[in-house]
Amino acid sequence: SNMFKLLTWFSMLFVAGSTLVLGQNNTAKDIFILAGQSNMAGRGGVNQGKWDGNIPPECKPKRSILRFTANLDWEVAREPLHVDIDVGKVCGVGPGMAFANEIIRSHRSGTGIIGLVPCAVGGTSINKWGKGSRLYGQLVKRANAALKDGGGTIRAILWYQGESDTLNKDDAETYKGKMVKLIEDLRLDLNLPSLPFIQVALASGEGTNTNIEMVRKAQMGIKMKNVKCVDAKGLPLNADNLHLTTMSEVKLGLKLAYAFLLSFSHFH
């Protein structure tokens, strides 16, 4: 058991060391912002207020995948990615780690290092994300902080949100206009006029099927440069009929990765 203790200590040292080496802000990274509500923050494996801790191989940590913490530091990324961001909720597996692992696996990360910037918060309607809101301000602040000291390039915003906007018809009907404005505002405030935006068309919602379909139609109907949509519909849901299961989140992460690789991986 002494040998085991020694090995554990060495591996801890190794992880700590790699965190420090890779965590320096001046390491060039391909940065991805994860934003939206609970299905982006991740509820995979969460049942009755507990996360089961199950981490599929597609979501395992790698030294080349970093996470931007709530304290604006880089660390080696691991599930749950949103643990200190979507606070007051139990976070589980989301799409971020599966996404990052697939980008690395395809060797299409320009730098070989991915920086994930989690910003998603459960139960948030699009109104809570509009310019001038706290969440909008947080996203812009975190994105800019992640870039400090030439620390890399923001490659895309991954966006999964809208379940809360299915609660009433009015919100569902006005969703498209608000989403278009949000994309325009973020591109302006991040000073990235052609920043890729990959959004997820809803798999579920809190309101009626009619409203869910209205939001989905809005999401798939946005025709803007460098805006892509992947469809989550049909991915198996938890017992709550609202949140994606762990394996569904993995599949979504892969869908997001393929959308990015197909459309945007010719790194400028």
Number of C-alpha atoms within 13 angstroms, CB side, residue 190? 31
Active-site residue (options: 30, 38, 64, 82): 38
**Tokens representing 78?**
């691991």
Report helix, strand and coil shares of the chain as percent, to nearest 5.
45, 15, 40
Residues 64, 97: contact at Cβ < 8 Å? no
| Cα 59 from Cα 64, distance rounded (Å) | 13
Q: In 3-state terms, what secondary structure has residue 232?
A: coil
- Contact, 163 vs 204, CB < 8 A? yes
> Quick check: is 243 catalytic?
yes
For the chain, the C-alpha Rg in angstroms (whole number) is 18
Catalytic residue among 125, 164, 243, 265: 243
As a whole number of angstroms, the distance between CA 268 and CA 257 comes to 17
CA 192 remoteness from chain centre: 19
Q: What whole-number distance in Å separates Cα of residue 129 and Cα of residue 189?
A: 14
Encoded tokens for 159: 């966006």
Q: Which two tokens stand for residue 257?
A: 């990765």
Residues taking part in catalysis: 38, 240, 243
